[in-house]
Structure 1
């Protein structure tokens, strides 16, 4: 009777160990899949955010270029050309002398 009980206990322990290993293996696989999925989602999000911020930066640069062009035009209308060959030094145009 005692030997049968020990054999049964041993068999039960082995069964539980196998079951536990199987559960641990499954849990590890699920965690690995979740980590891979999270990594892929994170990478996709980073790519989207990078593309969006790059687009915003490109628009800002274009807007700044346009602003600079407008400022140059305004200053040229107010003070004449800033080109060095026109003024000999690149300064504002002198008012025409009466004479």
Structure 2
């Protein structure tokens, strides 16, 4: 929620997120099922998070929220980041990503 409010204050960052990428928010602690690429993911009561998150987290990684995942057009993981990202570094990261060949 903090990240979302922070992003909403920056019109140019919002433009990047809305125009250049498919940006979505998911609650990894939700008990709701998630469907992605014809696969269904369920809440894992032992880990207290949805199994969907496991697709992106390495086994030794400590997760904090928000948890960022940047996927390529062919759905390869380009980057993950655990925690809040200030607007300026996020904008620079996204701009750099879109400039790469």
TM range (shorter): under 0.3
- Report 1 or 2 for greater relative contact order, CA contacts < 8 Å, sequence distance ≥ 6: 2
**TM-score, structure 2 normalization:** 0.19
* Structure number with higher helix proportion: 1
The structure with more radius of gyration: 1
